[in-house]
Chains A and B, each alone.
Chain A
């Protein structure tokens, strides 16, 4: 395998050079000139992570090495890796852009993404570490029918991973096209190819270190940006807010909640999906098996919450500072946004930005740190996507190899070697699927996909996981029925909502004389219905289950609880 790894490293290192030789002046209008500083910095990142992958490949022998990096990651390392897994390019660029466009609303989103972490800490982090081995399905199927529960958990994991992955790939393609001046499809192929190399050869060890390095780079880059931006206001937030309100087209409205949250039902529904979705994301839950014990698991959530919270405060500062600071840079704006005297027209401050509001953090990097820092932040954005898609793919591959193949198809009779091979093949296939879907969805509106991934995680994965840990009376039938009801209702309600029914499928209606996209239902996020529905069906289908197996499963709860509380019998770390 070592010999192959070397070839992959060479291939990955050379590919970008070969691509640079291709004519770079065709394609979409928004494409930038090839940014060589960014490309060289990114190549440095790729070279470094390939070195790590080579080192990790030598250490990756057993299934435990492949899925959980041998279980020997420390709490701090895992906290950084979780932060690296969770802080996607969408949250860095998307939330700073949202703050830039709407002000306070960006903060509401950040808070929703953050508050899931304490819940994970208090209710499931130590429990899943004590009960599980490689995937969260180990926990939800602990005392139940392996075939049924693992099949269901694998299906919902793969659906969550697929939607999350498509959103990341499409975002990656567009972003890299914008930042590096590469063609969309080339960007998607590079992301998919590098991700396959990391995961196939380096398994969880390489994935973890890619995430750690990315987290450190992103946090330090964002810290520098926020400090440099605040310095422009004499380190006074009040001064920053005052100037922002003065120049922003929405004026003082950016200082209070705006249009993001319009009614209580939608507000609570979004809140449920964000909060409990985090606790049901397969790639996040998988990270808890990389630490040696429950103590390190809880420490990792503590560090992760700190890093992620700090990061969201930085993106908030970056978005607000950009409102004022980008005003001094007409060169970032489209020609129609510039007035005769060369200044930016006030009404065009938000809409006239070249590349859209997703480019706010990137433009601010150039404004405060020049071309070199722009290159750095662009490379970090690329690295960010790689870290997130690697974690997602590994989680998807382990659902296929550990849950579907080893437990369902081979019924526990496969050996480790075969299971790892299946996992690597699954990674390769998932990589190809991700590249294919990334290209297929280039021009589609994928904005709903991350929301849907969170909603499914909150409605299918989380209820089954929570009930299996806390509710002694749940049975296989209850878990199966509740899990599928949560999954299907989340998907169906999302299809009927405005984001899919209106924006994707093109159903419109006349509102106040204007033709606007509409949904069949007014609910934007399904969680407020689908999540309670899942719990209700778990409850009903379990209580009405009087089979002999159900009795055994209820008795087995006691042994599960003892292991869950004390860690006696839990998976330990392997020494290297």
Chain B
């Protein structure tokens, strides 16, 4: 890519918005998944017995079971949220930037 077109794209407000909003969104989701996972790992390390508490009086199922399954489902949902936003907002911005470059 020529340096002139790089400079032109960098100066494009749509490009700047794309970079800014995607960066914010991607790191937000990354922090959420890291917080969930390391929160889980630290709970295992420091309070394993809490995860072993029954979900109800007399039940065998422990709190850790739905939590574990929920983390798996949440990971999937987070990727879905990213795809939804990227397919609409980010792709639209990218398209605008590409068109304005031609």
Contact = CB atoms under 8 A, between A and B. Distances in A.
Interface of A: 104, 107-108, 110-112, 114-115, 117-119, 121-123, 126, 237-238, 241-242, 245, 252, 255-258, 261, 263-264, 267-268, 271, 275, 295, 298-299, 301-302, 305-306, 309, 312-313, 558-559, 561-563, 565-569
Nearest to B63: A256
Given A256-B49, A271-B38, A563-B1, 18 more contacts: A108-B68, A115-B37, A122-B27, A237-B61, A238-B60, A252-B60, A255-B61, A263-B45, A267-B44, A267-B45, A271-B41, A305-B79, A306-B76, A309-B73, A309-B75, A562-B1, A565-B22, A568-B1
A566 B15 contact: yes
A313 B69 contact: yes
The 9 closest A-B pairs by CB, nearest first: A256-B52, A264-B45, A257-B48, A242-B60, A107-B68, A122-B26, A309-B72, A241-B60, A255-B62
Contacts of B69: 107, 313
Contacts of B80: 302
B1 A104 contact: no
Contacts of A242: 60
A256 B48 contact: yes
B24 to A, nearest CB: 11
A568 B41 contact: no
Contacts of B51: 104, 256-257
A104 B64 contact: yes
B75 A117 contact: yes
A268 B41 contact: yes
A257 B60 contact: no
Contact of B87 (A123, A245, A295): A295
B10 A565 contact: no
A117 to B, nearest CB: 7
B16 to A, nearest CB: 10
Q: For A118, A119, A568, which residue has the most chain B Cβ atoms within 10 angstroms?
A: A118
Contacts of A121: 79, 82-83
Contacts of A117: 75, 79
9 contacts: A114-B72, A114-B75, A118-B33, A123-B30, A255-B52, A271-B41, A312-B72, A562-B9, A565-B94
Nearest to A268: B41
Given A255-B65, A256-B49, A568-B1, A108 B44 contact: yes
A412 B60 CA distance: 63
A238 B59 contact: yes
Contacts of B78: 118
B10 A562 contact: yes
A121 B32 CA distance: 13
B65 A241 contact: yes
Interface centre among A108, A115, A117, A295 (most CB of B within 10 A): A115
Given A122-B30, A559-B3, A562-B10, A298 B45 contact: no
A257 B45 CA distance: 9
Given A255-B65, A256-B51, A312-B72, A111 B37 contact: yes
A122 B82 contact: yes
B60 A255 contact: yes
A559 B1 contact: yes
Contacts of A305: 75-76, 79
A302 B29 CA distance: 14
Given A275-B37, A569-B1, A257 B72 contact: no
Interface in B12-52: 15, 18-19, 22, 26-27, 29-30, 33-34, 36-38, 40-42, 44-46, 48-49, 51-52
A403 to B, nearest CB: 23
Contacts of B79: 117-118, 121, 301-302, 305-306
Contacts of B94: 565-567
Contacts of A257: 44, 48, 51-52, 64
Nearest to B19: A565
A258 to B, nearest CB: 8
B37 A558 contact: no
B59 A264 contact: no
A317 B4 CA distance: 58
Given A267-B45, A302-B80, A245 B60 contact: yes
